[in-house]
Amino acid sequence: MTHLIVYDRSMQKTTLYEQYTDEEEGSARERRLSLELEARRLGNDVEVVVLQAQNEEALRKTHARYFETLTLDDFKNELTAALAKASSADAA
């Protein structure tokens, strides 16, 4: 299976993920080129990659950073924990 990923370096997250069959690999590579040219034209700091992997699970193991994004709930939990820690430090 062929996987196309656009990873925004400044946001540190994947902004586009598409899967293609092995027969569609050429289409995936054409799309990659088109997206890369558009990103350069716009001055976007992104990685546009085409990767081969048996499935998404295998890709997540070998290229985990493309799938590690901080969700809003994760952010809220981290912020709440940091505020609680700061409050307890102030009280001490």
- pLDDT attached to residue 69: 67
Mean pLDDT computed over 80-87: 78
d(CA 17, CA 33): 15
Residue written as tokens 């997250």?
13
Q: Is the torsion defined by CA of 59, 60, 66, 72 positive or negative?
A: positive
Higher pLDDT, 68 or 5: 5
Mean pLDDT, the chain, rounded, equals 87
pLDDT tens, 9-51?
888 889 999 999 999 999 999 999 999 999 999 999 999 999 9
- pLDDT attached to residue 83: 80
Nearest to 24 by CA among 6, 5, 4, 40: 4
d(CA 70, CA 82): 16
pTM: 0.72
pLDDT-based confidence at 77, cuts 50/70/90? low
In this structure, the number of other CB atoms found within 10 A of the CB of residue 15 comes to: 12
- For the chain, the domains span 2-91
